[in-house]
Structure 1
């Protein structure tokens, strides 16, 4: 399950980059959030848990990874910010090129970190390559 979530994270970040190229900043923002969501889900699944909501997922990552120092606090702040930006883009039509670019960069960092952690943990069903 963790591997599938990382594959989804990669697909979403690639889609976000394409949307950015097409100047579709709304979808770039939304797709980038979902890339982060799938990266976080992969981490949670590796611990044997499933989330019931987006907020629960954020809190689980905080408890399992940030409080143990495996992920920097900046990451959870960025994930929360991305959630808010996704909602603003989706529900209120509020989005910018700069925010989309910034989120894409941070989502890529999150994905790299998630892959590294899962590789170290030898998560069930996960192999690099």
Structure 2
């Protein structure tokens, strides 16, 4: 596969991930915890989507993207298992807070998810820099 064909798409997803992560930092400082959780998860999701350009996968749904991340990047040892756990946790928490009217999320949990998202985005960005010389 020619990585150059996908460079613009990868850069677009990584840029979207970083912008979304920045939004999450702003939202948590404003006390908008539910929205910060959403943005933290989506920063992780967009980063994981960038990796899909390195595979033959055409998955676009959340569970499909997570499945491909686990299969091709965690199981193969590209990324440590704890990053998969962080992605799965953020997915679950985001689903709960987005779809349950009475969901109550506290500042500590929100900041924990944000820290996980930050670690996840940085790890994927570092992978693209180290392995493909692709960076923002």
TM-score if structure 2 supplies the norm length? 0.86
**Is the CA contact 1:8–1:35 (under 8 Å) kept in the aligned structure 2?**
yes
How far apart, in 1, do the equivalents of 2:85 and 2:98 lie? 20
2:25 equivalent in structure 1: 17
Structure 2: which 5+ residue stretches go unaligned?
Answer: 1-8
Q: Deviations over 1:23-46 (max 9, x none)?
A: 000000000000000010011123
Distance change in 2, residues 1:35/1:28 (3 Å): same
Per-residue deviation, 1:77: 1.1
CA RMSD of aligned residues (A): 1.5
Structure 1: which 5+ residue stretches go unaligned?
Answer: none
Find the partner of 1:60 among 45, 55, 68: 68
Which structure has the larger Rg?
Answer: 2
Secondary structure of 1:14's aligned partner = helix
Aligned residues: 126
**Is the CA contact 2:16–2:46 (under 8 Å) kept in the aligned structure 1?**
yes
How far apart, in 2, do the equivalents of 1:14 and 1:85 lie? 19
1:89-108 pair list within 5 angstroms: 89-92=97-100, 93-108=103-118
**Is the CA contact 2:128–2:135 (under 8 Å) kept in the aligned structure 1?**
no
Per-residue deviation, 1:100: 1.1
Which contiguous aligned blocks of 4+ residues in structure 1 show a shift greater than 6 angstroms?
none
Per-residue deviation, 1:48: 4.4
TM-score if structure 1 supplies the norm length? 0.90
Matched, 1:71 2:87: no
1:20-31 pair list within 5 angstroms: 20-31=28-39
42-51 or 56-65, which deviates more: 42-51
Find the partner of 1:112 among 122, 125, 130: 122
